[in-house]
Amino acid sequence: MVRFILRRLLQVIPVFIGTTLLVYYMVFALPGDPIAALFGDRQPPQAVIDTLRSQYHLDEPFIVQYGLFLKNLFTFNLGNDFTGQPIAASLARVFPVTAMLAVEALAIQAIFGVAFGVFAGLRRGGWFDSTVLVASLVVIAVPTFVLGFVFQLVFGVQLGWAKPTVGANADWGSLLLPAVVLGLVSFAYVLRLTRASVSENMNADYVRTATAKGLSRPRVVLAHILRNSLIPVVTYLGANLGGLMGGAIVTEGIFNVPGVGNKLYQAVLRTEGPTIVSIVSVLVLVFVVSNLLVDLLYAWLDPRIRYDQ
Amino acid sequence: MRFTRTSKALGIVAIAALALTGCGAGGGTTEGSSDATGDPNKVITAYSNEPQNPLLPANTNEVYGGRVVELLFEGLRTYDADGKPVNALAESIDSSDAQNWTIKVKQGQKFTNGEAITAKTFVDSWNFAANSKNLQNNGFFFESIAGYEEVSAVNSEKTADGKTKTTPAPTAETMSGLAATDDSTITVKLAQPEADWSLRLGYSAFFPLPSAALADPKTFGENPVGNGPYKFEKEGAWVHDQSIALVKNADYSGPRESKNGGVTFKFYTDPGPAYTDLQSDNLDITDVLPSNALKTYETDFQDRNATKAVATNSTLNIPPYNPNFQGEAGKLRREALSYAINREEIAKVVFNGTRTPAKAFVPPVIDGFKEDLKGSEILKFDAAKAKDLWEQANKIQPYDDSKPLQIASNTDGGNKEWIDAVANGFKNNLGIQAEIQPFAKFAEVLNLRKSQQLPGLTRAGWQGDYPSLYNFLGPVWGTNASSNYEKYTNPEFDKLLKEGLAATSTEDANAKFNQAQEVLFEDLPGLPLWDQARPIVWSNNVVKAETGWNGSILYYNITAK
At B168, is the secondary structure helix, strand, or coil?
strand
Task: Give the span between the Cα atoms of B553 and B557, in whole angstroms.
Answer: 9
Coil, strand, or helix at residue B233?
coil
What are the E-state strand segments in B12-146? 43-48, 77-79, 85-87, 90-95, 100-105
Do the Cβ atoms of B74 and B227 come closer than 8 Å? yes
CA A159, A164, A169, A175 torsion-angle sign: positive
Beta pairing, strands B164-168 & B355-357: unpaired
Looking at the DSSP bridge assignments, the partners of residue B43 are B262
Confirm if A236 and A113 have CB atoms less than 8 A apart: no
Is the CB of residue B95 less than 8 Å from the CB of residue B102? yes
* Residue B157 half-sphere exposure toward CB, CA atoms < 13 A: 6
- Asked if residue A198 lies in contact with residue A226, where contact means CB atoms within 8 angstroms, the answer is yes
Mutation for testing the B interface, residue in A256, A260, A275 having most B CBs under 10 Å: A256
Q: Which residue in chain B is spatially nearest to A139 when comparing CA positions?
A: B13
ipTM above 0.85, yes or no: no
Stretch B226-239: mean pLDDT? 93
A130 shares contact with chain B (CB less than 8 Å): no
* Chain B residue numbers touching A38 (CB-CB < 8 A): 52, 62
| Closest approach of B276 to chain A, Cα-based (Å) | 7
Query: In this predicted model, what pLDDT tens digit does every residue of B517-550 receive, in sequence order?
Result: 999 999 999 999 999 888 999 999 999 899 888 8
- From the number of C-beta atoms within 10 Å of its C-beta (0-12, 13-18, 19+), residue B99 rates as buried
Interface check for A250 against chain B (CB to CB < 8 A): the answer is no
CA distance B48 to A71: 36
Q: Taking every pair of C-alpha atoms in chain B, what is the biggest distance, in angstroms? A: 76
Residue B25 has pLDDT above 50, yes or no: no
For residue B512, count other CB atoms closer than 10 A to its CB.
22
Give the span between the Cα atoms of A92 and A278, in whole angstroms.
11
Question: Which of B61, B276, B471 has the highest number of chain A CBs within 10 A, making it the mutation to test binding with A?
Answer: B276
H/E element, B127: helix B119-130
Q: Over 60: is that where the pLDDT of B3 sits?
A: no
Tell me, yes or no, if A32 comes closer than 8 A to chain B by beta carbon: yes
Residue range B154-183: mean pLDDT, rounded: 86
Q: Which residues in chain B touch residue A89, judged by CB atoms under 8 angstroms apart?
A: 240
Of all residues in chain A, the one with the smallest CA distance to B163 is: A59
Give pLDDT, residue B382: 92
Higher pLDDT, B21 or A108: A108
From the list A219, A202, A238, the residue with the least C-alpha distance to A110 is A238
Chain A contact present for B468, CB below 8 A: no
For residues B33 and B46, give the distance between their C-alpha atoms in angstroms, rounded to a whole number: 23
Asked if B159's CB is within 8 angstroms of A59's CB, the reply is yes
- Residues in B closer than 8 angstroms to A254, CB to CB, are 272-273
Q: Are the C-beta atoms of A145 and A254 separated by less than 8 Å?
A: yes
Is A258–B242 a contact, with Cβ atoms under 8 angstroms apart? Answer: yes
**pLDDT score at B538:** 95
pLDDT higher than threshold 60 for residue B103 = yes
pLDDT of residue B23: 34
State residue B266's pLDDT score: 93
Mean pLDDT value of segment B454-478: 89
Residues of A in contact with B273 (CB under 8 A): 152, 164-165, 253-256
Could you give the CA distance from residue A110 to residue A104 in angstroms, rounded to a whole number?
A: 10
Find, among B366, B343, B365, the residue nearest to B355 by Cα. Answer: B343
Best of A150, A159, A161 to substitute, by most chain B Cβ atoms within 10 angstroms, is A150
Of the candidate ranges A166-170, B151-155, B285-289, the one whose mean pLDDT is the lowest:
A166-170
CB atoms within 10 A of CB B250: 9
In this structure, how many other beta carbons lie within 10 angstroms of the beta carbon of residue B442?
A: 21
pLDDT greater at residue A24 or residue B387 = B387
Q: Tally Cβ neighbours within 10 Å of residue A300.
A: 11
The pLDDT value recorded for residue B30 is: 36
> Which residue ranges make up each domain of chain A?
90-198+232-269
Q: Do A150 and B240 touch (CB under 8 A)?
A: no
Between CA B519 and CA B479 the distance in angstroms is 13
What residues in A contact B218, CB-CB < 8 Å? 84
In chain B, which among 435-454 make CB contacts under 8 A with chain A? 441-444, 446-447, 450
Q: How far, in Å, CA of B554 to CA of B545, rounded?
A: 7
Residue B33: pLDDT above 60? no
Distance CA B272, CA B289 (A): 7
What is the arrangement of strands in the sheet containing B185-189, beginning at the earlier edge strand? B90-95, B100-105, B185-189, B178-182
Q: Which of A55-69, A81-95, B265-279, B404-418 has the highest mean pLDDT?
A: B265-279
CA distance B101 to B94: 6
Cβ–Cβ of B483/A41 closer than 8 Å?
Answer: yes
All residues at 6 or more sequence positions from B95 whose CB lies less than 8 Å from its CB, including other chains: B101, B102, B198
- Looking at chain A from residue 76 to 115, which residues have their Cβ under 8 Å from any Cβ of chain B? 82-85, 89-90, 93-94
Please name the member of B25, B54, B462 whose beta carbon is closest to the beta carbon of A84: B54
Number of A/B CB contacts below 8 angstroms equals: 187
Question: Taking a C-beta distance cutoff of 8 angstroms, is the pair B88, B77 a contact?
Answer: yes
pLDDT band at B20; cut points 50, 70, 90: very low
> Which of A166-175, A235-244, B30-39, B245-254 shows the lowest per-residue confidence on average (mean pLDDT)?
B30-39
Task: Tell me which DSSP letter residue B29 carries.
Answer: P
**Whole-model pTM above 0.80?**
yes
pLDDT at residue B32, as a whole number: 39
DSSP for chain A, written as a single string: -HHHHHHHHHHHHHHHHHHHHHHHHHHHHSSS-HHHHTTTTSPPPHHHHHHHHHHTTTTS-HHHHHHHHHHHHHTT---B-TTS-BHHHHHHHHHHHHHHHHHHHHHHHHHHHHHHHHHHHHTTTSHHHHHHHHHHHHHHHS-HHHHHHHHIIIIIIIS-SS-S---SS--TTTTHHHHHHHHHHHHHHHHHHHHHHHHHHTTSHHHHHHHHTT--HHHIIIIIIIHHHHHHHHHHHHHHHHHHHT--HHHHHHTT--SHHHHHHHHHHTT-HHHHHHHHHHHHHHHHHHHHHHHHHHHHH-TT--S--
Q: Which residues contact B338 (CB under 8 A, 6 or more apart)?
A: B378, B379, B524, B527
Q: What is the residue type of B274?
A: A
Span of A29-43, A215-229, B316-330, B397-411 with lowest mean pLDDT: A29-43
CB-CB under 8 Å, B482 with A160: no
Strand ranges (DSSP E) for B440-551? Answer: 457-463, 526-538, 542-544
State the DSSP code for B227.
-
Q: Which chain B residues are within 8 Å of A178, Cβ to Cβ? A: none
Q: B residues 195-254 near A, CB within 8 Å?
A: 218, 239-243
**DSSP 8-state assignment for residue B274:** H
Test A256 with B269 for CB contact under 8 angstroms. yes
What mean pLDDT is reported for chain B? 86
Helix axes B12-21, A144-151, angle to 10 degrees: 50
* Residue ranges in chain A modelled with pLDDT below 50: none
pLDDT at A41: 61
Of A38, A83, A265, nearest to B269 by CB-CB distance is A265
Beta partners for residue B406, in sequence order: B435
